[in-house]
Amino acid sequence: MGDALGAPTEQRSIDQIRARFGGRVEQFYAPPQDSPFAKGRAAGQFTDDSSQMIMLAEAFIAGGGTITARAVADMLVEWSGKPEYFPHFAGPSTRRAIAAIKAGEDPERIGAQGVETTEGASNGGAMRIAPAGLVHPGDPAGAVQAAAITCRPSHFTSVGVSAAAAIAGAVSVALCDDVTLIDVVRAAVWSAEEGAAIGAQHGREVAGPSIARRIELAAEIAVAAPDLDTATRRIADIIGAGLPAAEAVPAAIGLLVAAGGDPWMTVVAAANVGDDTDTVACMAGSIAGAMHGISRVPQDRYAEVQAANGVDIADLARRLTAVAHPR
């Protein structure tokens, strides 16, 4: 839902969003023709974020709740054959990874290649990672390990793994009974630290800010803000919400906190934060949804997304639950 809500606002600033849509976006719109990536999509249709997330979920299901770098590589190649997604939405690290996979390179190591700090440090590994947390409910360590494996073909760096691990660990803990936002934030921080260490030791260390520390900062900004709009603007100004994983992932956690974990208001905040809105909303919404479940999701909005994309989300959830490894 967050991905679809953020598709028409992507790459715009907060003020541009409000001017273009007449205020805060709280319903699904068809992306305007000046949208750089999502133009041509219908209202309620999702983008690369959810399409890859669903395909990754199917890969986990096919693996009985486990994942391999080869399975992720095969998924990425299959995704690249979808003309409605790949030409318009593929990010820099994902494009590079798919080209290398098709050239026969080892998917275990592709994501660690490169010398520039931006390579493998974008948010593409984190945007799709929710299934790694969903198959490891209450087990953030298991979620982190699974997240690291998914990053090997595309984002196997200290920053890339840290980002994916933060979201996966947060989703894992969000599934626990009686969980609080503090628990979820702590899980995201711990998982980000673990992921950074895995990426640095086994992949490639890249220079950049600590995702764990920036998650803490984003949460502090959210708590200190007097209202959701103020928190959203402060997070946009201080943390950023762009393509770099060190912006998008902390922003997602901060907006989750600012919205009190409410699934709909979390994705509304993220869809209006500006920049990479669809990705931030997809990640933040995944955590909020895991925390509160379908009962807290507006059923009319849920129905809109299912109809617009022709997917049976409930069936996917049931099959994913069947292969989960509860702690």
pLDDT digits (tens, 9 = 90+) for 101-120: 999 999 999 999 999 999 99
Any idea how long the chain is? Answer: 327
Residue 204 pairs with which residues in a beta bridge?
157
* 49 appears as a binding residue in the annotation: yes
pLDDT at 49 over 80: yes
- Distance (Å, rounded) from C-alpha 158 to C-alpha 207? 9
pLDDT digits (tens, 9 = 90+) for 135-181: 999 999 999 999 999 999 999 999 999 999 999 999 999 999 999 99
- Residue 51: phi, psi to the nearest 5? -65, -45
pLDDT digits (tens, 9 = 90+) for 244-264: 999 999 999 999 999 999 999
CA 165 distance to own-chain centroid: 11
The whole-number pLDDT of residue 235 equals: 99
- Distance (Å, rounded) from C-alpha 160 to C-alpha 280? 15
pLDDT digits (tens, 9 = 90+) for 289-314: 999 998 999 999 999 999 999 999 99
* Domains in the chain, CATH or no CATH each: 2-321 (1.10.4080.10)
* 278 appears as a binding residue in the annotation: yes
- Distance (Å, rounded) from C-alpha 214 to C-alpha 222? 12
The whole-number pLDDT of residue 200 equals: 98
pLDDT at 86 over 90: no
What does pTM read for this prediction? 0.97
The whole-number pLDDT of residue 77 equals: 94
The whole-number pLDDT of residue 87 equals: 77
Distances (CA, A) of 187 to 43, 252, 275: 34, 14, 26
- Distance (Å, rounded) from C-alpha 115 to C-alpha 124? 18
pLDDT at 57 over 80: yes
Tokens of 252: 């997602």
CA-based angle 299:53:147, to the nearest 5? 125
User: Measured on CA atoms in the order 267, 261, 166, 66, is the torsion positive or negative?
Assistant: negative
* 47 appears as a binding residue in the annotation: yes
Residue 157 pairs with which residues in a beta bridge?
204
Contacts of 125 (CB under 8 A, 6+ apart): 93, 111, 147, 150, 151, 154, 155, 160, 161, 163, 164, 245
> Do the beta carbons of residue 188 and residue 218 sit within 8 Å?
no
The DSSP letter of residue 122 is B
The whole-number pLDDT of residue 327 equals: 75
Is residue 104 classed as helix, strand or coil in its secondary structure? coil
Instruction: State mean pLDDT over 259-278.
Output: 98
The whole-number pLDDT of residue 313 equals: 93
Distances (CA, A) of 143 to 9, 52, 190, 313: 30, 18, 12, 21
- Distance (Å, rounded) from C-alpha 84 to C-alpha 53? 15
